[in-house]
């Protein structure tokens, strides 16, 4: 039996919410050669951050930009959350970035911080405007500064109906519960 937050809305105005508190505030500066995903993951480890919002970026370029985009699943048309990897090799400028750092299960038990980063990039010579889920291998060119706000007062709830395979390409959707 799925949790209520896993089911389709029963009416157009339905929503689910969890009240959170803001914690520490950070500005991260990444320079040429930094991998955005790996640097944010290491930052979360170094500062014992389980949850944080990634809510702004400025002064950033990527070369290459590696990301996942939503794409039709030709094997299973009901799989609306299928994502396919893409790489933009041309130098591009970060136009927008947001997301969340939250825990993900790891093989053998436990968890690790996982930066779920949404981004839009483009605006450079011969670089289309594209976006998706930024993944490991997106390398900073120049300087990228990112605002991070720690989130406290919540914990993760994993779906009971699914087996969580931390090595799978797709992770199950999760939700949060208030702890304070």
Q: With a cut of 70, say whether residue 163 has pLDDT above it.
A: no
pLDDT-wise least confident of 27-31, 108-112, 171-175: 171-175
Q: Do residues 162 and 171 make contact, with C-beta atoms less than 8 angstroms apart?
A: no
* Residue 119 to residues 10, 20, 35, 46, 112, Cα–Cα distance (Å): 31, 24, 14, 24, 22
Q: What is the number of residues in the chain?
A: 180
pLDDT, tens digit (0-9, with 9 covering 90-100), for 3-17: 787 788 999 999 989
Confidence band, pLDDT 50/70/90 cuts, at residue 169: very low
Convert the pLDDT of each residue in 32-91 to its tens digit.
Answer: 999 999 999 999 999 999 999 998 777 788 999 999 888 888 888 887 777 888 999 998
pLDDT at 29: 95
Put simply, whether the predicted model's pTM sits higher than 0.95 gets the answer no
Band of residue 171 on the pLDDT scale cut at 50, 70, 90 = low
């Amino acid at each position: 039996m799925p949790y209520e937050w896993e089911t389709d809305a029963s009416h157009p105005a339905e929503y689910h919410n969890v009240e959170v508190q803001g914690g520490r505030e950070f500005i991260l500066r990444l320079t040429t050669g930094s991998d955005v995903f790996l640097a944010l993951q290491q930052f979360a480890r170094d500062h014992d951050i389980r949850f944080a919002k990634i809510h702004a970026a400025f002064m950033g370029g990527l070369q290459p930009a590696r990301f996942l985009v939503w794409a039709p699943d030709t094997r299973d048309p009901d799989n609306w959350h299928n994502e396919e990897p893409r790489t933009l090799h041309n130098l591009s400028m970060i136009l927008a970035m947001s997301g969340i750092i939250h825990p993900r299960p790891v093989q053998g038990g436990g968890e690790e911080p996982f930066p779920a980063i949404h981004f839009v990039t483009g605006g450079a010579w011969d670089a289309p405007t594209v976006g998706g889920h930024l993944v490991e291998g997106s390398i900073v060119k120049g300087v990228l500064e990112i605002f991070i706000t720690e989130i406290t007062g919540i914990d993760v709830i994993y779906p009971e109906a699914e087996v969580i395979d931390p090595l799978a390409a797709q992770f199950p959707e999760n939700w949060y519960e208030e702890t304070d």
